Structure 1
């Protein structure tokens, strides 16, 4: 399937690196206008410089801004900025996430709040502000990047598992609430991805961030009659245990 998003505008959270960066680049390649956010100005500026340097045609249709999605005030400002920069929203990719991996007894309350606040409340904040804009357009896409940790618990993952299990349930409920308004919701659950996120780092056997981005493109390329609601992505040959 060929993905052509010319005239469409996407917002990708956590878009300055990793999976989010790969999604930004894939959507730009499909001729979308793309806005993204990251947690640091340095990271956003570096991503913009690299993306624009790779292809000068990107210069006028990509923009970045600093935002902590766990802050409702910052998310509100992010969407107001999006209204000024692009005037419309067609696709929302909720990718921003953090991982703090400890057993529950060792996890400080502020660490718990950071994980839940970013991975779950952050998606609520973005959907809360994004949905009225999608409804105004007569519909659109929400793609939530969850994790196989949203269905498979692991030791040391109490907060991360809770956030991703919750995200999977919330995503399904949003789908049911808004499907007849033309809003499609897809949850993507990658396994081990070769990025700097998490405890194990990069490895050749892991999924590439660009592979996850390609899955997002596949989802968006489906005909209007079809909704891919749930996608699991796994390494084809993980190390034997």
Structure 2
């Protein structure tokens, strides 16, 4: 079993939701975690919260925008300069615009694709050399919407179908370098996504700590074994 202590992880969109849950789980294992956000204030505040809860200064917040390749290159340079290595990259940043094709705007389409899909490309493109040096792990957060289409989901479905396929292809490209690549495809998760306010009504959903535990399990798995695509869903969703 792999030991994670003193490894270094970069999590895009790590200030809340799934990214935050993964950050908490990794910090509990002694991993140095860098979380990014488009907002410097949000990145700093979330890092402070993580450190306070863990009683250990393992989290660092950095402003970065996954839609901007230079921004992603810059954050990777900062991580490698500070820690001298980069072991894990979790491409988590994402958003959703949901509307029928008649109502979906060009701006909403572009924002979804730029963030959810092109942002994942920029993230691995910026970090691939560092991961090759560390023989690290690249994990993308896709969605069950990356395998199952639904009405008013054209932009989101397109982005997540793209992430799922992109990640599987990158897995084939990088495994020859000793870099492991997986995509996690969650169903309903208790987060603030799409304006939701998590409370007791969301108890049936996947919780962010569940996905954090899953990432830890992946990173600890024997290097010879690679679960490359993982679908995860609530055990007992409400009946319709």
TM bracket (short chain): over 0.9
Are residue 87 (structure 1) and residue 87 (structure 2) matched?
no
CA distance in 2, matches of 1:154, 1:213: 27
Question: Structure 1 residue 201: deviation in Å?
Answer: 4.6
Counterpart in 2 of 1:25? 24
Segments of 5+ residues of structure 1 without an aligned counterpart are none
Instruction: Answer whether contact 2:182 2:228 (CA < 8 A) is retained.
Output: yes
Q: Which residue of structure 1 lines up, in the alignment, with residue 7 of structure 2? A: 8
How far does the alpha carbon of each residue in 1:1-22 deviate from its partner, in whole angstroms, 9 at most, with x for none? x763113111111111001001
Within the alignment, does 1:51 sit opposite 2:50 as a pair?
yes
- In structure 1, the residue matched to 2:108 is 111
Aligned partners of 2:27, 2:89: CA distance in 1, in Å?
14
Distance 2:237 2:54 in 1: 34
Q: What CA distance in whole angstroms lies between the structure 2 residues aligned with 1:201 and 1:177?
A: 39
Residue 109 of structure 1: how far off its partner (Å): 1.2
CA contact 1:3–1:217 (8 Å) conserved in 2: no
Paired position in structure 2 for 1:125: 122
Cα distance change on mapping 1:72 and 1:147 into 2, 3 Å: same
Scaled by the length of structure 1, the TM-score of the pair is 0.94
Unaligned runs of 5+ in 2: none
Are the equivalent residues in 1 in contact too, given 2:91–2:139 (CA < 8 A)?
yes
The count of residues paired between Structure 1 and Structure 2 equals 237
In the alignment, the residues of structure 1 paired with residue 109 and residue 69 of structure 2 have an alpha-carbon distance, to the nearest angstrom, of 18
1:214 matched residue in structure 2: 213
> TM-score scaled by structure 2?
0.95
Cα distance in 2 for partners of 1:44, 1:194 equals: 21
Structure 2 counterpart SS, 1:34? strand
CA distance in 2, matches of 1:200, 1:26: 23
Q: Over aligned residue pairs, what C-alpha RMSD do you find?
A: 1.3
> For residues 129 and 41 of structure 1, what CA distance do their matches in structure 2 show?
20
Deviates more, 1:101-110 or 1:11-20: 101-110
Number of the residue aligned with 1:150: 146
| Runs of 4+ in structure 1 over 2 Å off | 198-202
Q: C-alpha distance in 1, partners of 2:194/2:67?
A: 19
